[in-house]
Amino acid sequence: MLRKRWLKIPVFLLCLAPLGWLGWRAWNQDLSANPIEFITRYTGDWTLRFLVFTLAITPLRKLLRLPDLIKFRRMIGLFAFFYSCLHFTTYIWLDKFFDLTEMLHDVARRPFITAGFTSFVLMIPLGLTSTTGWIRRLGGKRWQMLHRLVYGSAVAGVIHYYWLVKSAVQRPIFYGVLVAIALVIRATFWAISKRPRQETNAPIPAVR
Ligand code: HEM
């Protein structure tokens, strides 16, 4: 089933659904009493969710033995970047009115903004080098190394969320646990792949 090429279309539409839902609520003037805060939080939530979905692909395809899941990783990762751009645009446009000085002031002074900014900046090279052309240009190994930045981005995103909530820390901790699980599974597979292989040409003991 996962091999079907058309499957990418419903997955693409599903990834767009959060934006559609936001548009629907905006159309119905249902964005709470503070629409800017609502949109900022909504797009921030979906950025982090898509990052977690991206990180979940490799463990899931290995644990469930579904190698074809890899086909969706690039698309889902790009959606994380897309929602982070919307999140950032909401902040810089609707919140700061393109006042770059004010924004840099925020980045330097407010630790939760510094963490969010770090997470966003780490995603930029991933988004820009996501094409097949860039995989060829960088070479598979270097491209893979670069794309490990996704873990740094996710960790910074969780810290950003944790630092901005005052007391309701359950949700950032929940995302933190998911990111930690993905990291541990990844490290385990890496350690297994580095284990010296069993000697295959050892002498076969004589059968008496
Ligand atoms: C330049 C980058 C970023 C800036 C300036 C920024 C700024 C903000 C601001 C101002 C808020 C709302 C705070 C409030 O209402 O009190 C927020 C919320 C949030 N941001 Fe970001 N952010 C950035 C990047 C990111 C990234 C990359 C992620 C995800 C990895 C993220 C995830 C979140 C989450 C989950 C929330 C809270 C949503 C909720 O309360 O349900 N942010 N961000």
Mean pLDDT of the chain: 93
Tell whether ligand 1 has an atom less than 6 A from the beta carbon of residue 150. Answer: no
CA of 44 to the centre of ligand 1 (A): 5
CA of 14 to the centre of ligand 1 (A): 22
Tell whether ligand 1 has an atom less than 6 A from the beta carbon of residue 176. Answer: no
Instruction: Specify the pLDDT at position 200.
Output: 54
Instruction: Specify the pLDDT at position 197.
Output: 72
Instruction: Specify the pLDDT at position 3.
Output: 81
**C-alpha R_g of the chain:** 21
In angstroms, the CA 95 to CA 89 distance is 9
Q: What is the pLDDT of residues 67-117, one digit of tens each?
A: 999 999 999 999 999 999 999 999 999 999 999 999 999 999 999 999 999
Tell whether ligand 1 has an atom less than 6 A from the beta carbon of residue 47. Answer: yes
Instruction: Specify the pLDDT at position 108.
Output: 96
Residues of the chain with pLDDT under 70: 198-208
* Predicted TM-score (pTM) of this structure: 0.91
